[in-house]
Amino acid sequence: MSPRTPEQNKKIREQTQQKIVDAGFTLFAREGYASTSIAAIARKAGVSKGLIYHYFDSKEAILSTIFDQMIDLGDEILDFPDDFTPADKMRQTLQETFQFIEQQTGKGRLMITLALQPETYSNLQSKIERVNETQTVKYIEMLRELGHQQPELEAYRLGALMDGILMGYATMGEAYPLEKMKKKIMEDYVPS
Amino acid sequence: MSPRTPEQNKKIREQTQQKIVDAGFTLFAREGYASTSIAAIARKAGVSKGLIYHYFDSKEAILSTIFDQMIDLGDEILDFPDDFTPADKMRQTLQETFQFIEQQTGKGRLMITLALQPETYSNLQSKIERVNETQTVKYIEMLRELGHQQPELEAYRLGALMDGILMGYATMGEAYPLEKMKKKIMEDYVPS
Amino acid sequence: MSPRTPEQNKKIREQTQQKIVDAGFTLFAREGYASTSIAAIARKAGVSKGLIYHYFDSKEAILSTIFDQMIDLGDEILDFPDDFTPADKMRQTLQETFQFIEQQTGKGRLMITLALQPETYSNLQSKIERVNETQTVKYIEMLRELGHQQPELEAYRLGALMDGILMGYATMGEAYPLEKMKKKIMEDYVPS
Amino acid sequence: MSPRTPEQNKKIREQTQQKIVDAGFTLFAREGYASTSIAAIARKAGVSKGLIYHYFDSKEAILSTIFDQMIDLGDEILDFPDDFTPADKMRQTLQETFQFIEQQTGKGRLMITLALQPETYSNLQSKIERVNETQTVKYIEMLRELGHQQPELEAYRLGALMDGILMGYATMGEAYPLEKMKKKIMEDYVPS
DNA sequence: AATGAATGAGTCTTCATTCAT
DNA sequence: CATGAATGAAGACTCATTCAT
């Protein structure tokens, strides 16, 4: 009955799905998960409500997908070329993290909010933990390579610091001294 | 003239109000503001839904009251005797902050969540800002007294660090190396 | 136990009751019966909600009492000295009716609204009918004395006219040409 | 592209919407606006409460739509062919008005009730005023053409009279001498 | 006589989800 | 693949009424 080839269909499917995920992400980040309605997502994505349920089982499934994509993206951040020195790695990691903080504030805000409500979004919990762990492991490795004494503890400290900066920037916006913080932290952690 | 004396009434009022605030606080902290229903608060507080509106104008008013109580508590934390040396002040501040993180995790979680959703609870925004400012100012002063070069920037860093630790502990719970972090940070900031 | 004499008590009772009736009347007239809350009446009357239920069985009972008082007042309007000529009677009746329209607009508005919702205020219905009948009978008598051919029909017409004017004035307020209408109608119905 | 054709949808929409409007109208007229619940409208219309909000933004929006439909109907009443003499026009106007009073008593009752509560439904107020004005203007013109001395005042009188008759009939129902009134008024205003 | 704390049914409204087409 | 009409449970909030004192 359909005049479309399977390939076309697949492409359409993926595009539509992505439109929904993008719309959902934007709104979740801006308004929060609970305050964002399926109707609003449908509107922003330019599709019908029904179609959303064609692609996703529930509102939470959208969130879950968004989360997966965020994780994939996070993994990319933490990957670098083989010829990088430990200092290069740290520099790039910090730079990219600060870039994320500045440019994807909404994303960060959303992640924090979700991470802080384990009971409500229990099936995201394992994913969140995995993200944290992955990040911590990478930090530990880098810090060890850089010759820190207690790389594990130092990794927690660095992680907390970056989380705190994200929070500060997400809360205060432009009033937060993001650039200065970046400079200071780069100086501290990246031997020049 | 009144059958119950004004004192009796006042006491009843305060008790009931506090029951509602406590229930609201617990649930807001655990489930988030948006996901907590008035019905749930009423159930937990052991009162009727109607009574809640006898004491509070709206759901947001409950939140606001909770917030005020949290602020009062926060102000106490930041007060210390006159004969304290700068190091004493810093030591006590950090100790009390870590204690807060450990013992009042729910409160901390709630504050972060709220701070991160500026648009939704705009009338809390000013209060949150006040808290932040107060804390930052105190940090700056202490760090200056301790001889730090850039007390302001350092204050932001310390603030971010503590926020990040709160976040980590709130997310991971006992799995978070809170004690070790405390020790490390005390060593860093409090000259012994 | 009470230091008050029975007389004092009676007086207090009547005064309080009247305060409630007055407050209720004002609010019912201004906001409508359904939109007026017992709490609002209590506030305006300066008494507690509980006291209202000490004097009245229900919200509707207040309305009913208000109605009775309005009827008593209406009866007075239609009573005149024995030495009045038919023209005197008509003149005074019309004058007082116009005065009522102008000065007690709220009262009139309330009566119309209630009269128009028989299903809702069914136990007021008989009272309303009695008012209408009484008025019509008086009109018929006066019009017959004045020599009208079809006094009954003419009474309905005059009644409708006055009701319509009340409605117009209640709706338009000062924009309604009440004075001119009064003059015209007096000329028509009162031979001079 | 759509499974139901747009025409089908439009038809469904209009039908359902009209069912809601009809149910709302009946109940508003009988019980009053404030005393009619959305649940009652849904029940009478045979739809779910939710669907009502799919079609109308609020309870007041239903009322507003009802009103608009009533106005459209009213406008038709006041239009007549070009070759009508002034007497023809007046005759037809009165006839149609009486017909409205008799057959659309509920509509009339609702309009009066709403007109009498200016503060509550303020955004209907302008519409009501427009209706009144339109009607008055038409009356004035007709009465002038018929040679009345003070057509404006006479228009107000005629308007009041018809309003009063509507009220009487709406209140008393069959007990009201509607036919006789009609005959009398026709004789008075339409030269034969 | 009087208060006001307390209740619970009911109000308008929202929204995730289903389903006929 | 796609639509949007329809549902029903739940949400915040109101209010007439009761009751202990």
What's the CATH code of the domain at D116?
1.10.357
Overall domain count for chain A: 2
Lowest mean pLDDT among A138-147, B18-27, B113-122, C15-24: B113-122
Q: Judge if C111 and C185 occupy the same domain.
A: yes
Whole-number percent of chain B with pLDDT over 90: 65
Maximum average pLDDT range among B114-118, C132-136, D182-186: D182-186
Q: Judge if D44 and D70 occupy the same domain.
A: no
Mean predicted confidence (pLDDT) in B63-91: 84
**Alpha carbon distance A148, A140 (integer Å):** 9
CB-nearest to D30 from C119, C163, C170 is C119
B58 burial (CB, 10 Å; 0-12 / 13-18 / 19+) is exposed
Q: Judge if C176 and C142 occupy the same domain.
A: yes
Q: Record the tokens describing residue C114, joined without a space.
A: 């209630």
Tell me which of C184 and A75 has the higher pLDDT: C184
CA C34 to C1' E2, whole Å: 26
Q: Judge if A38 and A88 occupy the same domain.
A: no
Q: Judge if C37 and C132 occupy the same domain.
A: no
Decide if pLDDT at B137 tops 50. yes
Q: Judge if B75 and B147 occupy the same domain.
A: yes
- For B108, what's the count of Cα atoms within 13 Å in the CB-facing half-sphere? 23
Chain D interface, mutation test: which of C60, C114, C117, C121, most D Cβ atoms within 10 Å?
C117
Which three-class secondary structure string do you get for chain C?
CCCCCHHHHHHHHHHHHHHHHHHHHHHHHHHCCCCCCHHHHHHHHCCCHHHHHHHCCCHHHHHHHHHHHHHHHHHHHCCCCCCCCHHHHHHHHHHHHHHHHHHCHHHHHHHHHHHCCCCCCHHHHHHHHHHHHHHHHHHHHHHHHCCCCCHHHHHHHHHHHHHHHHHHHHHHHHHCCHHHHHHHHHHHHCCC
Decide if pLDDT at D1 tops 70. no
Asked if A113 and B117 count as a contact pair (C-beta separation under 8 A), the reply is: yes
Residue A119 confidence (pLDDT): 77
Q: Judge if B75 and B3 occupy the same domain.
A: no
Q: Record the tokens describing residue C172, joined without a space.
A: 């338009």
Residue labelled with tokens 């655990």: B30
CB-nearest to C163 from D119, D120, D167 is D167
Asked if B28 and B60 count as a contact pair (C-beta separation under 8 A), the reply is: no
Lowest mean pLDDT among B163-172, C24-33, C91-100, D116-125: D116-125
Task: Render pLDDT for A77-104 as a digit per residue (tens, 0 to 9).
Answer: 667 888 999 999 999 999 999 999 999 9
Q: Judge if A32 and A49 occupy the same domain.
A: yes
Q: Judge if C101 and C51 occupy the same domain.
A: no
Q: Judge if B48 and B127 occupy the same domain.
A: no
CA B3 to C1' E4, whole Å: 10
Determine if residue D63 is left, alpha or beta; phi over 0 gives left, psi from -120 to 50 gives alpha, anything else beta: alpha
Separation in Å, CA D109 to CA B79, C107, C124, D52, D115: 69, 18, 17, 24, 10
Mean predicted confidence (pLDDT) in B8-33: 93
Assign residue C7 the CATH number of its domain: 1.10.10.60
**Alpha carbon distance C192, B62 (integer Å):** 71
Domain around C35: 1-56
List of residues 6+ apart from D142 with CB closer than 8 A: D86, D89, D90, D93
Residue C1 confidence (pLDDT): 46
Q: Judge if B46 and B74 occupy the same domain.
A: no
Q: For residue D35, how many other CB atoms are within 10 A of its CB? A: 18
CA D52 to C1' F17, whole Å: 31
Mean predicted confidence (pLDDT) in B164-190: 95
Tell me which of D40 and C76 has the higher pLDDT: D40
Lowest mean pLDDT among A1-10, A145-154, C153-162, D142-151: A1-10
Decide if pLDDT at B2 tops 70. no
pLDDT band of residue D105 (cuts 50, 70, 90) is: very high
**Bases of chain E within 7 A of a CB of the protein:** 1-21
- In angstroms, the separation between the Cα of residue B179 and the nearest Cα of chain A is 11
Report if CB D8 to strand F is under 7 Å. Answer: no
Q: Judge if D82 and D174 occupy the same domain.
A: yes
Chain D hits for C180, Cβ within 8 Å: 153, 156
CA torsion A17-A22-A28-A31 (nearest 10°) is -130
CB-nearest to B117 from A32, A117, A164 is A32
